Structure 1
């Protein structure tokens, strides 16, 4: 047991506001969010296979506030990757853990996910073929793209399917579900509800934050090549990259080609075709019912929205 490990997680969902929530929660003086978002620590490999140095690296992600009462970590893969629940239940104190899920209309989430990857050069198919391409394949570490991203547009939105193991393993009072729409409309109210859930005081002054916005780049193919390079997936660098100092590697990975190739800020991705929206909504219908049973919340409004932006 290591006291500097997190005692709460934001396990998902991807493209649903987790980056914004991560930053908002870190604003609280009694919360230390990991300095690196999405470290994948609990699903990258078996905990017992980590070296002492690797465990120290993970611990150091929570050093910014050594006296923080709560330490949080956000990796959207945790919601659905195999092994996460078992790993944290074994190596952390499961009775003390809490989970905050932020969910978004699954159709909008899938479309945003698709355009996020298409906008940075990681997707070439049209939307429906892209969804069908891996519709029955749950993501895991070995399905990561060379540039360090994941597709699985449909699977990431099966909230009922992926939250059920959490409700089976943990008490319902350890799980909080918030909605992307509420975070966008009332960030201060949502943030304070999370603080209360974690047993902390509320704040009266919370900054407006909007992170990880989906963009379309002027040269997405260059962005993809740079992402592949920074993820250490080019064979030429693979034998030597492990010998680089970690600080140098971290700085290298944080470099972004958008610093050189500007974002195409005047471009917005097109609206989702109504037929595709209806098709995808029907695929999520049964899972939405399961989610309602788990959370005692209604999600009918997700499928009554006039359009997907």
Structure 2
């Protein structure tokens, strides 16, 4: 008889990178009837197994022990208990990309799992992460213009500068898993040719063809235009927190209504303003922080990334 843990563990994982289109990819793939995503979108189990989650204010230089993290094995298995026998089980935790503990844990627990990573030009990813934090009033006290200065919080927090060293992070996975189990995607392709990218993934996952709806952008970053409106419809709105606390069943019902979810997502996006990333700063961050890793990534993946290196 097959071990129950092997039955309920995921068949594939989206491992990152954060702010590179992973949330959109999650929502697109979740449409496929033969895919079951964990009921917690980012359990981060393999990175945080056995570790008590802590709040951002108690660990400001890390900010990766999200309150919804799942850190116990049985609780993690329970996330996939509702999957139908024919469905591939999956989850998406962007912390996995930069966690060696996660790479080793996945190899130990589910060595045959398929892994998907979406990569974005690292300076752009950093800027998007900064704007994401701005959206939630959680930006570091150090100005983004001072990001180059080594030793500040941008260098210490793994979700900021360190997250963009893709070659170093991916090496942990390529050292542990055969190449045919790893699929690397690029943010620009997912943005411009989502259907083509999704068809590649369906083939990678050995699933039946499916027509995905890809006309929405999820987890958009930017400054909030109307804070009063955000307090009602935002990701961290007072209304959402009250519903979660008082009537969690209502929140699940809302999540199960695709038309309502689409309206809410569009309304949130419309209430965000994304300032342009100054090209001079983008070039500076790319050249002084990320260029060496980009070149290593080209060698690792056998691809040309010249379009990531210079901006006019």
TM range (shorter): 0.7 to 0.9
Taking the aligned partners of 1:185 and 1:101, their CA distance within structure 2 comes to 17
Q: Does 1:127 align with 2:134?
A: no
Q: Does 1:13 align with 2:17?
A: yes
Match of 1:293 among 296, 299, 307: 299
Gaps of 5+ in 2: 52-70, 256-263
How far apart are residue 187 of structure 1 and its match? 1.2
SS at match of 1:11: strand
SS at match of 1:280: helix
Would the aligned equivalents of 2:45 and 2:72 in 1 still touch at CA under 8 Å?
A: no
Would the aligned equivalents of 2:16 and 2:117 in 1 still touch at CA under 8 Å?
A: yes
Taking the aligned partners of 2:269 and 2:300, their CA distance within structure 1 comes to 41
Taking the aligned partners of 1:16 and 1:263, their CA distance within structure 2 comes to 19
Match of 2:182 among 171, 175, 181: 175
Aligned CA distance change for structure 1 residues 117 and 136 (closer, same or farther; 3 Å): closer
Would the aligned equivalents of 2:222 and 2:275 in 1 still touch at CA under 8 Å?
A: no
Aligned CA distance change for structure 1 residues 135 and 126 (closer, same or farther; 3 Å): closer
Q: Report the aligned-residue RMSD.
A: 3.2
Q: Which moved more, 1:181-190 or 1:270-279?
A: 270-279
Instruction: Show the counterpart of 2:113.
Output: 97
SS at match of 1:287: helix
SS at match of 2:83: coil
Instruction: Show the counterpart of 1:201.
Output: 208
Taking the aligned partners of 1:172 and 1:128, their CA distance within structure 2 comes to 38
Would the aligned equivalents of 2:134 and 2:222 in 1 still touch at CA under 8 Å?
A: no
Taking the aligned partners of 2:128 and 2:144, their CA distance within structure 1 comes to 11
How far apart are residue 126 of structure 1 and its match? 2.3
Taking the aligned partners of 2:143 and 2:206, their CA distance within structure 1 comes to 45
Cα distance per residue 1:96-133 (max 9 Å; x no partner): 11111011111111111111101220014421325642
Cα distance per residue 1:211-246 (max 9 Å; x no partner): 11113224499789979xx7xxxxxxxxxxxxx99x
Instruction: Show the counterpart of 1:268.
Output: 273
SS at match of 1:9: strand
Instruction: Show the counterpart of 1:62.
Output: 80
Q: Does 1:73 align with 2:79?
A: no
How far apart are residue 263 of structure 1 and its match? 5.3
Taking the aligned partners of 1:182 and 1:202, their CA distance within structure 2 comes to 19
Cα distance per residue 1:249-271 (max 9 Å; x no partner): x97xx9xxxx9xx8584652322
Would the aligned equivalents of 1:104 and 1:179 in 2 still touch at CA under 8 Å?
A: yes
Gaps of 5+ in 1: 48-52, 140-151, 231-243
Match of 2:101 among 79, 83, 86: 83
Taking the aligned partners of 1:111 and 1:99, their CA distance within structure 2 comes to 25
How far apart are residue 58 of structure 1 and its match? 2.3
Taking the aligned partners of 1:224 and 1:199, their CA distance within structure 2 comes to 34
Taking the aligned partners of 1:263 and 1:131, their CA distance within structure 2 comes to 31
Taking the aligned partners of 1:6 and 1:280, their CA distance within structure 2 comes to 36
Would the aligned equivalents of 1:106 and 1:157 in 2 still touch at CA under 8 Å?
A: yes
